[in-house]
Amino acid sequence: MGYGHLDRPAQFMKGVGPRRADSLKKLSVGTARDLLYHVPRRYDDASTIQSIESLKVGDDATIRGRVRSSGVIPTRSGLRIFQAVLQDASGMITCAWPGQPWLDRKIREGDQLLVTGPVKFFHGRQLHPREFTTLARAGDPGQGEDGQEAGTVFTSYPATDALPQWVLRRIYEENLDWLLEHADEEEYLPPELRERLGLPGLQEAFRRLHRPRSLDETEPGRRRLAFDEFFFLQLVQALARYRQTEVEPGIVHTRTNELIRPLHESLPFELTGAQARVLREIYGDMASPRRMNRFLQGDVGAGKTLVALFAMLLSVEGGRQGALMAPTELLAEQHHLKLQELLEPLEIPVALLTGSVTGRAREELLEGLREGRTPLVVGTHALIQEGVEFRNLGLVVVDEQHRFGVRQRMALVEEAEKGPRPDVLVMSATPIPRSLALTLYGDLELSVLDELPPGRRPVRTLLRYPSGRQEVYAGVRKELEAGRQGYIVYPLVEESEKTDLRAATQEYERLAREVFPERRLGLLHGQLPAEEKEAVMRAFRDGELDLLVSTTVIEVGIDVPNATVMVIEHAERFGLSQLHQLRGRVGRGAEASWCVLIAEPGEMARERLEVFAATNDGFEIARADLRIRGQGDLFGSQQHGRDPLLRFADLTTDAELLEQARALARKVVAADPELKDPRHERIRTILEHRHAERLRMWKVG
Ligand code: ADP
Ligand code: MG
């Protein structure tokens, strides 16, 4: 079928050979296909390149020119400066790289360079390159006098020391025609569909990216690759969803209102509009013969636990059991207490199963679950261990807080699948924008609690410089004197966990000795064993500690209503979403709460922090965070080197493309879940051939 040319090892491409093939591998390029996907990282043309003659001091400019002379100049202070005089048709300018004498070995007379940087005044005009690219090497036989014709676009590829720009450009010059000729072998979108989506064909897309005739030709090329990226990710997830929800029959829950109504009536408040809507979505899934696999996200305090309880009661009304799984013992205990409180008027028991429940008590609990006498249970991973059997489990709620990670989640669902096939509800307290949620959780249906119960007092957030620390401490002291508790949080210091630990430990000792000698302080950091961490948190929860000094390990979701103040040191080092999670630890009781961010003066950080201080809306903060930090940071563990989740797509700008790709993926799977239809052959081949790892990860391989 003509598929497979692009599998040719890069080594056998023109001008490559074994040594360059090794260097290409370091750029994650192993095949002809990888060469196609290794697209330029920047483009320049006459509209971005200035003539040397026109440069003015103060400009930030990009120029292209040939090296006329070069050398290293020592200075009296011992700094060595590499200088090169660049010439284009209009004139000459000196470029200077202070402190980079080694460039003498890289840049030669006669080289054609593209450089970008500020133009300064130093014995006349001088350009200080921030970035440079060797477009062509002196005397390189493959290049004409000017490398490329005037009026064309200059492409700069991601390059390395071993594989500099000019070598890559040569490789593309020699191979691009052949590569483009075969690019359409992987075209899976029929022309009508491409037209409807406004996307170019693959061959056209790669041509636009590698050999654009003008700068604005490249964007549609990128959009096409972004669509493909979204499509195959959504396709794998749609297949996973199909396996999880459709293949084996799920439970059809029946509602009697025997329990749901009394719970409603016993609540001292009305459900929020968002809670009511989300419950309808959940009940709809649970009553259908498809298995529910739903993701519920909502800010801290949005009322997720109550929603989970209503869902579990539907399961119990139909004679089945419900389980809620939390990531730590402490959180399990907390959920357990809350559910007990809510269920008191209904006289329904809730069991608690953690690693600490042992001996007789454990035996009895397990028997209750096995025989169905225990309708509801809250627990940790202990719930999915050997020896735990349910008589008739109808719903599993997984409270995963901020720990997203496909692998762990799939493992949990997988475990739950060993019994009958209960419905699954995953809850997260980390608000994320829809585009990110669809990318990470595309196999789940999404429910969003985007409304807080009325009457919440927002946490007041203040910004302070380090010089104002004493005043901040005075404020904290006042809260503690009123019988309240507080947190002081330190960021992770990059160098090593050890330094981080030392910093927190030293600060803890200083605070205990000099600042709050009359108070009970606790220290929490990442290197404490899990049990000790829990012991410290427990002591704080039980009021045995006044002030908790901590690195960022404070348990998300932990609820200490008496804690009314949080001080965050070096706030500029945190992402906004992380700050929001931290801030969520206060403001959980009836008292007014506040959060103080201590940050070094500095424009950018200040602006970001002001955005944060101005709102308590987690979704708004998450969108700002995505915009400011970019998506790479947010993928965390899933961004493992060779197979980044998204290379071409941008979640902040491509949200509509993502929805289109998702709709198409779901349509394909709904019509042809095995991808057997000849019209889907290309899709299946690409999937099996290029996304095998992902298929395995999502357990659809
Ligand atoms: P989450 O789990 O989303 O952080 P919770 O379920 O713990 O939030 O709810 C936080 C608090 O708000 C609880 O004390 C809960 O009883 C209360 N609550 C939940 N829903 C409502 C509502 N609709 N109106 C008023 N209070 C509510
Ligand atoms: Mg169902």
pLDDT at 407 over 90: no
* All residues at 6 or more sequence positions from 258 whose CB lies less than 8 Å from its CB, including other chains: 317
Q: What is the pLDDT of residue 202?
A: 97
- Read off the pLDDT of residues 296-308 as tens digits, 9 standing for 90 and up: 999 888 999 999 9
pLDDT at 344 over 60: yes
Q: What is the pLDDT of residue 317?
A: 96
304 ligand 1 Cβ < 6 A:
yes
Average pLDDT of span 578-594: 88
Secondary structure (DSSP) of 228-275: HHHHHHHHHHHHHHHIIIIIS---------TTHHHHHHH-SSPPPHHH
Contact 480, 546 (CB under 8 A): yes
Nearest to 33 by CA among 223, 213, 175: 175
Q: What is the pLDDT of residue 608?
A: 85
**Which of 263, 271, 300, 306 to mutate to test ligand 1, by most ligand atoms within 8 A of the CB atom?**
306
CA atoms within 13 A on the CB side of 195: 3
pLDDT at 411 over 70: no
Buried/exposed 663-690: b ≥16 CB within 10 Å, e otherwise = ebbbebbeeeeebeeeebebbbbbbeee
Contact 9, 181 (CB under 8 A): no
271 ligand 1 Cβ < 6 A:
yes
- Read off the pLDDT of residues 356-377 as tens digits, 9 standing for 90 and up: 899 999 999 999 999 999 999 9
pLDDT at 640 over 50: no
Q: Strands 112-121 and 131-136: what pairing?
A: antiparallel
Average pLDDT of span 611-636: 80
CA 359 remoteness from chain centre: 42
Average pLDDT over the chain reads 88
Say whether 203 sits in a helix, a strand or coil.
helix
**C-alpha–C-alpha distance, residues 477 and 484, integer Å:** 9
Residue nearest to atom 18 of ligand 1 (CA): 303
269 ligand 1 Cβ < 6 A:
yes
Contact 108, 140 (CB under 8 A): no
- Read off the pLDDT of residues 550-559 as tens digits, 9 standing for 90 and up: 887 766 667 8
302 ligand 1 Cβ < 6 A:
yes
CATH superfamily assigned to domain 260-288+302-428: P-loop containing nucleotide triphosphate hydrolases (3.40.50.300)
Q: Which ligand is nearest to the CA of 307?
A: 1
Task: Locate the ligand 1 atom nearest the alpha carbon of residue 305 and give its number.
Answer: 6
Q: Which ligand is nearest to the CA of 421?
A: 2
303 ligand 1 Cβ < 6 A:
yes
Q: Which ligand is nearest to the CA of 452?
A: 1
Domains 260-288+302-428 and 460-615 share a fold: yes
Residue nearest to atom 24 of ligand 1 (CA): 453
* Apex 332 CA angle, 316 and 299, nearest 5: 90
Instruction: Name which residue leads in pLDDT, 72 or 161.
Output: 72
CA dihedral sign, ordered 622, 625, 631, 632:
negative
Give the Å distances, CA to CA, from 649 to 230, 348, 657.
7, 49, 9
pLDDT at 2 over 50: no
Q: Which ligand is nearest to the CA of 453?
A: 1
Q: Strands 60-74 and 423-428: what pairing?
A: unpaired
Give the Å distances, CA to CA, from 4 to 8, 37, 185, 429.
7, 15, 8, 45
Give the Å distances, CA to CA, from 255 to 260, 289, 312, 347, 390.
9, 14, 11, 19, 21
- Which residue has tokens 């410290």? 536
pLDDT at 419 over 70: no
306 ligand 1 Cβ < 6 A:
yes
Task: Report the separation in Å between the CA atom of 281 and the middle of ligand 2, taken as the mean of its atom positions.
Answer: 12
Q: Which amino acid is at 67?
A: V
Contact 65, 88 (CB under 8 A): yes
Task: Report the separation in Å between the CA atom of 250 and the middle of ligand 2, taken as the mean of its atom positions.
Answer: 5
pLDDT at 150 over 50: no
- Which residue has tokens 């040319």? 5
Q: What is the dihedral of CA 273, 279, 284, 288, to 10 degrees?
A: 180
Task: Locate the ligand 1 atom nearest the alpha carbon of residue 302 and give its number.
Answer: 3
CATH fold for domain 42-156: OB fold (Dihydrolipoamide Acetyltransferase, E2P) (2.40.50)
Nearest to 658 by CA among 132, 227, 307, 100: 227
Q: What is the pLDDT of residue 151?
A: 52
How is residue 303 written in tokens? 């009322």
CA 431 remoteness from chain centre: 12
What global pTM score does this model have? Answer: 0.79
Task: Report the separation in Å between the CA atom of 460 and the middle of ligand 1, taken as the mean of its atom positions.
Answer: 20
pLDDT at 291 over 90: no
**C-alpha–C-alpha distance, residues 686 and 672, integer Å:** 16
Task: Report the separation in Å between the CA atom of 247 and the middle of ligand 2, taken as the mean of its atom positions.
Answer: 13
**C-alpha–C-alpha distance, residues 312 and 666, integer Å:** 29
pLDDT at 648 over 80: yes
Task: Locate the ligand 1 atom nearest the alpha carbon of residue 455 and give its number.
Answer: 25
How is residue 557 written in tokens? 């979701």
Task: Report the separation in Å between the CA atom of 12 and the middle of ligand 1, taken as the mean of its atom positions.
Answer: 63
Average pLDDT of span 265-280: 96
Average pLDDT of span 248-258: 90
Task: Locate the ligand 1 atom nearest the alpha carbon of residue 299 and give its number.
Answer: 3
Average pLDDT of span 629-637: 62
pLDDT at 642 over 50: no
* Percentage of the chain exceeding pLDDT 70: 90
Residue nearest to atom 9 of ligand 1 (CA): 303
- Read off the pLDDT of residues 428-444 as tens digits, 9 standing for 90 and up: 888 888 898 888 888 88
CA 177 remoteness from chain centre: 37
Q: Which ligand is nearest to the CA of 338?
A: 1
Q: What is the pLDDT of residue 13?
A: 95
Task: Report the separation in Å between the CA atom of 305 and the middle of ligand 1, taken as the mean of its atom positions.
Answer: 7
How is residue 99 written in tokens? 């402190």
Q: What is the pLDDT of residue 3?
A: 57
Q: What is the pLDDT of residue 487?
A: 95
pLDDT at 135 over 90: no
Task: Locate the ligand 1 atom nearest the alpha carbon of residue 270 and give its number.
Answer: 23
Of the options 2.40.110.10, 3.40.50.300, 2.40.128.720, 2.60.40.420, the CATH number for the domain spanning 460-615: 3.40.50.300
Q: What is the pLDDT of residue 556?
A: 63
Task: Report the separation in Å between the CA atom of 469 and the middle of ligand 1, taken as the mean of its atom positions.
Answer: 34
Confidence of residue 236 (pLDDT cuts 50, 70, 90): very high
- Tell me the H-state helices in 525-617: 530-541, 576-583, 603-614
275 ligand 1 Cβ < 6 A:
yes
Q: What is the pLDDT of residue 174?
A: 94
Task: Report the separation in Å between the CA atom of 87 and the middle of ligand 2, taken as the mean of its atom positions.
Answer: 72
Q: Which ligand is nearest to the CA of 399?
A: 1
**C-alpha–C-alpha distance, residues 374 and 315, integer Å:** 13
Task: Locate the ligand 1 atom nearest the alpha carbon of residue 557 and give its number.
Answer: 4
Say whether 142 sits in a helix, a strand or coil.
coil
Cβ neighbours of 408 (radius 10 Å): 14
**Per 3-state DSSP, what percentage of the chain is helix, strand, and coil (rounded to 5)?**
45, 20, 35
- Read off the pLDDT of residues 162-198 as tens digits, 9 standing for 90 and up: 998 889 999 999 999 999 999 999 999 999 999 999 9
Contact 396, 584 (CB under 8 A): no
Contact 429, 299 (CB under 8 A): yes
Which region among 155-159, 355-359, 571-575, 642-646 has the lowest average model confidence (pLDDT)?
642-646
**Which of 305, 399, 580 to mutate to test ligand 1, by most ligand atoms within 8 A of the CB atom?**
305
- Contacts for 140-149: CB closer than 8 Å, 24+ residues apart: 140/166, 140/170, 142/170, 142/173, 142/174, 143/112, 146/112, 147/112
Secondary structure (DSSP) of 145-179: TTBS-TTSPEEE----SSS-HHHHHHHHHHHHHHH
Residues linked to residue 399 through DSSP beta bridges, in sequence order: 427
Confidence of residue 147 (pLDDT cuts 50, 70, 90): very low
**C-alpha–C-alpha distance, residues 187 and 229, integer Å:** 13
pLDDT at 464 over 60: yes
- Read off the pLDDT of residues 662-679 as tens digits, 9 standing for 90 and up: 999 999 999 999 999 999
CA 574 remoteness from chain centre: 14
Task: Report the separation in Å between the CA atom of 252 and the middle of ligand 2, taken as the mean of its atom positions.
Answer: 5
- Tell me the H-state helices in 318-423: 329-343, 359-371, 406-416
Contact 27, 38 (CB under 8 A): yes
Which region among 116-130, 241-255, 664-678 has the lowest average model confidence (pLDDT)?
241-255
- Tell me the H-state helices in 488-558: 497-510, 530-541
589 ligand 1 Cβ < 6 A:
no
- Read off the pLDDT of residues 598-613 as tens digits, 9 standing for 90 and up: 998 876 678 889 889 9
> What residue segments make up the domains of the chain, in order of their start?
42-156, 260-288+302-428, 460-615
Instruction: Name which residue leads in pLDDT, 384 or 39.
Output: 39
Contact 28, 642 (CB under 8 A): yes
Task: Report the separation in Å between the CA atom of 291 and the middle of ligand 2, taken as the mean of its atom positions.
Answer: 4
